Amino acid sequence: MRRALVLGGGGVTGVAWELGLLAALVERGVAVTEADLVVGTSAGSVVGAQVRSGVPLQGLYEEQLAPSTGETAARLGLWVVARLLWAGGRTRDAVRSRARIGAMAVAARTPSEASQRAVIEARLPAREWPARRLLVTAVDAASGEFVVFDGADGVSLVDAVGASCAVPGVWPPVTIGARRFVDGGMRSSVNADLAAGAQRVLVLAPTSASFGPMPRLAAQVAELRAAGSRVVVVTPDAAARAAIGRNVLDPARRAGAARAGWTQAAAVADEVRALWV
Over residues 245-258, mean pLDDT: 94
pLDDT digits (tens, 9 = 90+) for 47-89: 999 999 999 999 999 999 998 766 766 766 665 666 666 665 6
pLDDT at site 211? 72
**pLDDT category, 193, cuts 50, 70, 90?**
very high
Helix (H) / strand (E) element for 148: namely: strand 146-149
With 0-12 / 13-18 / 19 or more C-beta atoms within 10 angstroms meaning exposed / middle / buried, residue 207 is buried
What's 240's DSSP letter? H
pLDDT digits (tens, 9 = 90+) for 149-174: 999 999 999 999 999 999 998 999 99
Catalytic site residue 229?
no
Domain assignment present for residue 94? The answer is no
pLDDT at site 89? 62
Q: In this structure, are residues 267 and 22 in contact, taking their beta carbons and an 8 Å threshold?
A: no
Higher pLDDT: 94 or 235? It is 235
Over residues 216-223, mean pLDDT: 96
Catalytic site residue 183?
yes
pLDDT at site 78? 62
In angstroms and rounded to an integer, the radius of gyration of the C-alpha atoms of the chain is: 17
- End-to-end CA gap in the chain: 14
Domain assignment present for residue 221? The answer is yes
- For residue 37, the enclosing domain spans 3-72+109-276
Q: What is the mean pLDDT of the chain?
A: 93
Q: In this structure, are residues 228 and 255 in contact, taking their beta carbons and an 8 Å threshold?
A: no
Domain assignment present for residue 44? The answer is yes
pLDDT(187) > 70: yes
pTM of the model: 0.94
pLDDT at site 68? 75
What's 172's DSSP letter? P
Q: In this structure, are residues 4 and 35 in contact, taking their beta carbons and an 8 Å threshold?
A: yes
pLDDT at site 72? 67
Task: Give phi and psi for 180, each to the nearest 5.
Answer: -120, 145
Domain assignment present for residue 186? The answer is yes
CATH number at residue 10: 3.40.1090.10
What's 154's DSSP letter? S
Domain assignment present for residue 77? The answer is no
pLDDT at site 79? 59
- Determine the distance from the C-alpha atom of residue 247 to the mean position of all C-alpha atoms in its chain, rounded to a whole number: 16
> How many folded domains does the chain comprise?
1
pLDDT digits (tens, 9 = 90+) for 90-129: 677 899 989 999 999 999 889 999 999 999 999 999 999 9
Diameter over CA atoms, the chain:
48
Half-sphere exposure for 273 (CA within 13 Å, toward CB): 13
Q: 117: alpha, beta or left, given left = phi > 0 and alpha = psi -120 to 50? A: alpha
pLDDT at site 212? 73
Domain assignment present for residue 98? The answer is no
Higher pLDDT: 91 or 276? It is 276
Q: In this structure, are residues 8 and 210 in contact, taking their beta carbons and an 8 Å threshold?
A: no
Domain assignment present for residue 101? The answer is no
pLDDT at site 70? 65
The percentage of residues in the chain with a pLDDT greater than 90, rounded to a whole number, is 83
Residue of 53, 140, 159, 183 marked catalytic: 183
